[in-house]
Chain A
Amino acid sequence: MRLRTLGRHGREAIKSLGRNSWMSFASISAVTVALLLVGLFLTVMLNLNTIANQVENSVEVDVFIDRTAKPAQQDALKQQIEQLDHIKSIQYVPKEEGLKEFIKSMGDDADVFKSMQGKENPLPDKFVIKTTDPKQSITVAKQIEQFKYVDEVRYGKGYVEKLFHVVDIARNIGIVLILGLLFTSVFLIANTIKLTIVARRNEIEIMKLCGATNAFVRWPYFIEGFLLGLLGAVIPFLLIAVGYREIYQWFIGKNYQSYLFVKLIPSDTMTLYLGGSLILIGALIGIWGSMTSVRKFLKI
């Protein structure tokens, strides 16, 4: 296609948005409403997913080392663990440090335990292990239990399994809802665009009778669909991005991050995600709606 022709298609698309202003308005509104819903949902789901990831990632495996193990045997055990699959990191925590952490976590009641520092320390040395996939921590823990010089392995048995189960269900529900919402909005938008094109089938018919190729007829509609989707994405994007920024600032301001041990997606990152996905979804739906509607009238 010549550049001049592409320019013509662009101009035609913009002109026709103006000429069919009411129809364009209807289509853009449909995109706006649908993407507002999708965007809100996406924001909530992305945050839930991030929180779920944070919770999952907080799962770690504590390996308490048998007190009789010599440093060389501890090293051997460490190497043995490192050779397992799915190990992300392994940190050695000597008993002194373990006790310090424990005392710290006890707060005001810690005095009793302070006397245990030194030779009286009842705690064993331990390894703290993180796995590449939190769900593997159960398998990893079971494997480590079999090793020599391992006194005990703790990973929050029972609790961790339930946590993963709940998180999985929440994620799946979210995916199903988002897909459902996208599906309905695709139809809502595509049908509105279809109406605008039905109103203009004469134009397509005349183009075809004047010897226009199908590609030539399609191009302006392609660009128009793209623009409708793009314009429709602007308002939901702005509304949600600004709204999210406010909520995020409030969340930070109230210091909920540290009470709840969870972090929301920072508003700048969210703005990027939203901008990218809403514009992409809008444009794709616009193009799809307009292309499927034109196809019917090209058969002349």
Chain B
Amino acid sequence: MIILIEMQDVWKAYANGVMAVNGINVHIDKGEFVYIVGPSGSGKSTFIKMMYREEVPTRGKILIDGTDITKLKYREVPFLRRKIGVVFQDFKLLPKLTVYENVAFALEVIEESPRQIRRKVMEVLDLVKLKHKARFFPNELSGGEQQRIAIARSIVNNPPVVVADEPTGNLDPENAWSIMEIFERINNNGTTVVMATHNKEIVDRMVKRVIAIEGGMIVRDDKEGVYGYEA
């Protein structure tokens, strides 16, 4: 397997003195599907944020596709982000843009040609089964639909990695499953998926690699793991 993401002795202390991550070593291969689990405040979000460099570790190396992203110059960061799709718990859609525009946005900012934008957006809307709602505005959609749009936006650029921070956190079980189905499909197409989650049912039923973080350290890393906490 080809290693895609590698953390070497990564530490993160915030300015207020909180030690969020305390010496993490991990590698994630190309095409893997990984759940990051752990109690609230254990460092999951920091772990995710460091991968797309919203946070920079205080110490250690993070290699993505062989590049140490902790050493990136400020102006090189946008080009890292184009290789990583990000999905949030609160969707982060722009309320004043239509579904189509929200997805196209991700391609516009990287200056894709209008023809490519049209083709790719329709393709990805088809993948998340919302092609028929392209002209709707986010507030006209259900939570699950909004999250599917957010996922569409994160993958429209065909990044090798998608990271998601509690993507099902705001959704009911039914919608949560439809989201997971999409992640599964993306993963089957070869995209690496790293997902922080609190959803026991999903982790236990859709069996994947599970990395458990507690107090900023990896306490468990199972190839075919379970959630391991009370729901």
Contact = CB atoms under 8 A, between A and B. Distances in A.
A5 B92 CA distance: 24
Contact of B52 (A2, A4, A202, A209): A209
A206 B79 CA distance: 15
Nearest to A299: B74
B108 A8 contact: yes
A2 B79 CA distance: 18
A79 interface: no
Contact of A202 (B79, B92, B106, B153): B92
B110 A212 contact: yes
Interface residues of A, number: 20
Interface in A200-229: 202-203, 205-214, 216-217
A5 B111 contact: yes
B177 interface: no
A78 interface: no
B100 to A, nearest CB: 14
Contacts of B82: 210-211
Contact of A209 (B75, B86, B108, B114): B86
Interface in A242-300: 300
B94 interface: yes
Interface in B15-64: 52, 54
Contacts of A208: 78, 81
Contacts of B111: 2, 4-5, 216
A5 B96 CA distance: 21
A211 B92 contact: no
B81 A206 contact: no
Interface string B138-150: 0000000000000
Contact of A212 (B52, B78, B92): B78
Nearest to B52: A209
Interface in B89-134: 92, 94, 96, 105-106, 108-111, 113-114
Contact of A211 (B81, B94, B96): B81
A213 B153 contact: no
A239 B94 CA distance: 39
A210 B108 CA distance: 10
A206 B108 contact: no
Interface string B67-86: 00000000100111110001
Nearest to B92: A206
Nearest to A217: B109
A2 B106 CA distance: 17
Contacts of A300: 54
Given A208-B81, A210-B81, A211-B81, A216 B54 contact: no
Nearest to B79: A211
Contacts of A203: 94
Interface string A47-85: 000000000000000000000000000000000000000
Contacts of B157: 210-211
A207 B105 contact: yes
Given A19-B96, A203-B94, A210 B109 contact: yes
Contact of B109 (A4, A205, A216): A216
Contacts of B110: 210-212
Interface in A1-34: 2, 4-5, 8, 19
Nearest to A2: B111
B137 to A, nearest CB: 11
A217 to B, nearest CB: 8
Contacts of A205: 92
A212 B109 contact: yes
A210 B153 contact: yes
Contact of B106 (A19, A210, A216): A210
Contacts of A213: 75, 78
B108 A211 contact: no
Contacts of A214: 75, 78
Q: 7 tightest A-B contacts by CB? A: A212-B109, A211-B82, A211-B81, A210-B106, A211-B78, A213-B78, A19-B96
9 contacts: A8-B108, A206-B92, A206-B94, A207-B105, A209-B54, A209-B92, A210-B106, A211-B78, A211-B79
Interface of A: 2, 4-5, 8, 19, 202-203, 205-214, 216-217, 300
